[in-house]
Amino acid sequence: MNDKGEFDLEDFLPYALNQAAETTSRGFSTYYRDRYGMLRTEWRVLFHLGRYGEMTARAICDRAGLHKTKVSRAVAALDGKGLLSRRTDPDDRRHERLALTGRGQGVFSDLVDAARRYDAAISSGFTRHEREVLRDCLSRIARMRPRVPR
Amino acid sequence: MNDKGEFDLEDFLPYALNQAAETTSRGFSTYYRDRYGMLRTEWRVLFHLGRYGEMTARAICDRAGLHKTKVSRAVAALDGKGLLSRRTDPDDRRHERLALTGRGQGVFSDLVDAARRYDAAISSGFTRHEREVLRDCLSRIARMRPRVPR
DNA sequence: TATTGTTATACTCTATAACTATA
DNA sequence: TATAGTTATAGAGTATAACAATA
pLDDT, tens digit, 9 for 90 and up, residues B24-73? 999 999 999 999 999 999 999 999 999 999 999 999 999 999 999 999 99
Bridge partners for B19 per DSSP: none
The confidence band for A4, taking pLDDT boundaries of 50, 70 and 90, is low
Burial class (CB in 10 A: 0-12, 13-18, 19+), B3: exposed
Mean pLDDT across the stretch A25-53? 97
**Are residues B28 and A149, on separate chains, in Cβ contact within 8 Å?**
no
Portion of chain B with pLDDT greater than 70, in percent? 97
pLDDT at A30 over 80: yes
The confidence band for B120, taking pLDDT boundaries of 50, 70 and 90, is very high
pLDDT of B88: 95
pLDDT of A6: 86
Which bases of chain C are contacted by protein, using any atom under 7 A from a CB?
3-8, 12-18, 21-23
pLDDT of B6: 86
Bridge partners for B11 per DSSP: none
User: What is the value of pTM for the model shown?
Assistant: 0.94
C-alpha distance from residue B68 to each of A10, A54, A101, B58, B126 (Å): 21, 47, 45, 7, 37
pLDDT of A5: 74
CA distance B9 to B15: 7
Mean pLDDT across the stretch A96-117? 98
Mean pLDDT across the stretch B121-141? 97
Mean pLDDT, chain B, rounded, equals: 96
- What is the distance in angstroms measured between the alpha-carbon CA of A12 and the sugar C1' of C4? 30
Which amino acid is located at A117 in the chain?
R
pLDDT of A1: 62
Q: Which residues of B touch A50 (CB under 8 A)?
A: none
- What is the distance in angstroms measured between the alpha-carbon CA of B22 and the sugar C1' of D13? 13
The confidence band for B3, taking pLDDT boundaries of 50, 70 and 90, is low
Going by their DSSP bridges, the two strands B96-100 and B84-88 should be labelled as antiparallel
C1' of nucleotide D23: residue with nearest CA: B92
